[in-house]
Structure 1
Amino acid sequence: MNDSRDRRTVQEILIFPDGQTVPVKDVEPRRVRRRRPVHTAYLWSLGLFIATCLSTWWVGERRYDDGFGYMVPVMAILLAHEMGHYLVSIFYRVPASPPFFLPMPISPLGTFGAVIVKPGGGEDRKKLFDIAIAGPLAGLVIAIPVCIYGAITAEPVPIADVPADDFQFIAPPLLKWIVDAVRGGWPPGMVLESAVLDAGWVGIFITALNLIPIGQLDGGHILYALLRKRAHAVAGALIFGALAYMFLSGNLSFILMLMLIIMMGPYHPPTADDYVPLGWFRVILGCITLPFIFIGFTPTPIAIGG
């Protein structure tokens, strides 16, 4: 059944003094152009990016008197990491939000990193692997040169001169190797002060955290793509081991993060197709990338004083 109202026209007429009317033309009703809705997700992404730039600049200015020297490399590393995820998601036509950066000016880092929101199960095993691993690899492409430059330009300061209420980032093995390579060894009895070097440390540390193979972290995605449901046993063992370590050592540095992981779900959900073959190259790449946590992570990342 057709609705005649859908085909109505507007009739223009001339009215003469004697009341006679003469139609002039039939005019189709004007079509009202609807404006496309504003993509609020992109506005939020841009706003949070600017806020995180200001947050990291403020931390750099307060600690090093070099806000841009800290902000620029930190944001470049974070942006490379998140755009690695985002661009590969677009390539595979997997729905994903733009990156949402997390400012935190009261923390030593000035940021809690960034996240991308996407519906689970929208990708198969191979797509999951590629999207997950693209972020850490892209971030390291920026972070490692930043660490090298920072190690070269860092200023050695005697530990005795470090204020008792100041904090120092504890170098993971990778950063120690970089300092040894470019400076011929870590200066004995010294700490290295550099906004750029600390920015590189942030990039290495955040990458290592993301590669922990649990739940919805990048490492959790990669491990699930490699082992499928067998990854659940690894995630459970890691959570139990982390809780045991914190209980026995009294080091509760990561208790909040661990609780968040447990609340979000420590076990990775299935993909759209868990049986798509990865191929030998992805298997080798995943096996090389996941152990990065052993050289980029440190259980006690921050120490107070020298």
Structure 2
Amino acid sequence: MIKKNLRTHILLFLFTFLTLTFKGDLFIGIFQFEWRQMLEIFRIEWSYSLSLITILLCHEMGHYLPARYYGVKATLPYFIPFPLGPIGTMGAVIQIKEPIPDKIKLFDIGVGGPVMSLVLSVPSWLLGLSLSELVPITVSSDQHEFLIFGDSLFTYWTSQWIFGAHDPNLFMIESHPLARAGWVGLIITAINLLPFGQLDGGHIIYSMFGEKYRKWIYYLFLSFLILSFFNFTWLVWGFLIYFFIKIEHPFVPDHSFQRLGKKRIFLGSFMLISFIFIFVPAPLSIGSELDAPNLLEYFFGW
């Protein structure tokens, strides 16, 4: 049984590496045997897939290792391949197989993942950005098919720092694969830091504020839903959180005699503040959507 489960983890890992590298072109190699084209794609994309799968692996091990340290049963990471779309994966997950005994252990298990992915995604983004090119958008260029990776405060400021002051409406960044891996790692970290339910941010904020957070967490969720007026992505996430992930965290008892302490409070606060800087209000869009009205404009004409 253990060997069978290990085989599943390894196969999902390998298949996810392939979908990260080839994405939808994976089917070309399988069914049309365009091996030269596949080798060229691999030459270009291997740094993206290797970097991102490392970020995902370290994120999940940031949960898995503290869980095993505290004697909490947990599975190895399950990677989720997704050969459609521009990213190539839907992330990775581990499964906690038993209740977490107290809030200190909950905090350590919850915070480890986003700390690891943040620490790895930032240098991947910065190094990749330094290898990218800033090119002008010409009047004749057709932007309707452009895939646009949205900016967070962090990615906007760092791109302005590395390339110098420029107008994103007049220039576009031709991203190096390392930069794309860093961008995806940052947005995965940000989504996991949403402060709801069983997401990492939910673990962190519940551990820090305890049961009293239930008095205001629904107001925070309503504030989050305001984002859906500007980008439909967050309406989908609001649906997933409300019906599946849940808004409130399940009850976990306090530690019998120990508090979180200043170091954990500082680390939790740092991660929640970092969420503000790496959160992307409009993650992905295509050029044809730029002039389309958002929900606020559609319903209210604003």
- 1:1-306 to 2 correspondences below 5 Å: 37-59=1-23, 65=41, 66-119=44-97, 121-160=99-138, 161=141, 163-186=143-166, 189-194=170-175, 195-246=177-228, 249=229, 251-264=231-244, 265-273=246-254, 276-305=258-287
The one-character-per-residue Cα deviations of 1:234-286 (angstroms, maximum 9, x if unpaired) are: 4312222233442xx26321233222222232210122435641111111111
What is the alpha-carbon distance in structure 1 between the residues aligned to residue 185 and residue 133 of structure 2? Answer: 20
Question: How far does the alpha carbon of each residue in 1:15-40 deviate from its partner, in whole angstroms, 9 at most, with x for none?
Answer: xxxxxxxxxxxxxxxxxxxxxx3343
Q: Give the letter for the 1:67 counterpart.
A: E
Structure 1: gaps (5+ residues): 1-36
Moved over 4 A (4+): none
1:92–1:154 distance in 2 versus 1, CA, 3 Å: same
Tell me, in whole angstroms, the C-alpha distance in 2 between the residues paired with 1:53 and 1:141. Answer: 21
In 2, are the aligned partners of 1:176 and 1:186 still within 8 Å (CA)?
Answer: no
> Which amino acid in the other structure matches residue 114 of structure 1?
A
Query: Secondary structure, in 3 states, of the residue corresponding to 1:85?
Result: helix
Aligned partners of 1:150 and 1:234: how far apart in 2? 40
Of stretches 213-222 and 223-232 in structure 1, the one that deviates more from structure 2 is 223-232
1:57/1:67 contact within 8 Å kept: yes
Partner of 1:32: none
Sort the Cα spacing of 1:250 and 1:179 in 2 relative to 1 into closer, same or farther, 3 A: closer
Greater percentage in helix: 2
**Do the aligned partners of 2:152 and 2:281 also contact (CA within 8 Å) in 1?**
no
The alpha-carbon distance between structure 1 residues 298 and 178, as it changes in their structure 2 partners (threshold 3 A), is same
CA shift digits 1:101-122 (9 cap, x unpaired): 1111212211111111113532
Return the letter of the residue paired with 1:90: R
Aligned residue identity for 2:135: V
1:145–1:250 distance in 2 versus 1, CA, 3 Å: closer
Checking the alignment, whether the CA contact within 8 Å between 1:211 and 1:292 is kept in structure 2 is no
Alpha-carbon distance in structure 1 between the residues aligned to 2:271 and 2:2? 39
C-alpha contact 1:96 1:116 (8 A) present in aligned 2 = yes
Code of the residue aligned with 2:81 in structure 1: it is P
CA offset at residue 295 of structure 1?
0.8
**Residue aligned with 1:112, SS:** strand
Q: Which has the higher strand share?
A: 1
CA contact (8 A) 1:150 1:197 kept: yes
User: Deviation at 1:61?
Assistant: 7.3
CA drift of 1:233 comes to 3.4
Deviation at 1:134, TM superposition (A): 0.8
Aligned residues of 2:19 and 2:81 also touching (Cα < 8 A): yes
SS at structure 2 position matched to 1:101: strand
In structure 2, the CA distance between the partners of 1:148 and 1:126, relative to structure 1 (3 Å rule), is same
- Quick check: 88-97 or 268-277, which moved more? 268-277
User: TM-score, with normalisation over the residues of structure 1?
Assistant: 0.80
Equivalenced residues, count? 267
Separation of aligned partners in 2, 1:159 and 1:118: 48
> Structure 2 length as normaliser, TM-score?
0.81
CA deviations on 1:52-75 (whole Å, 9 max, x unpaired) are 11111013979x942212211111
1:181-225 alpha-carbon deviations (Å, 9 max, x no partner): 333334762111122211111011110111010000000000010
The answer to whether the 8 A contact 1:60-1:71 is kept is: no
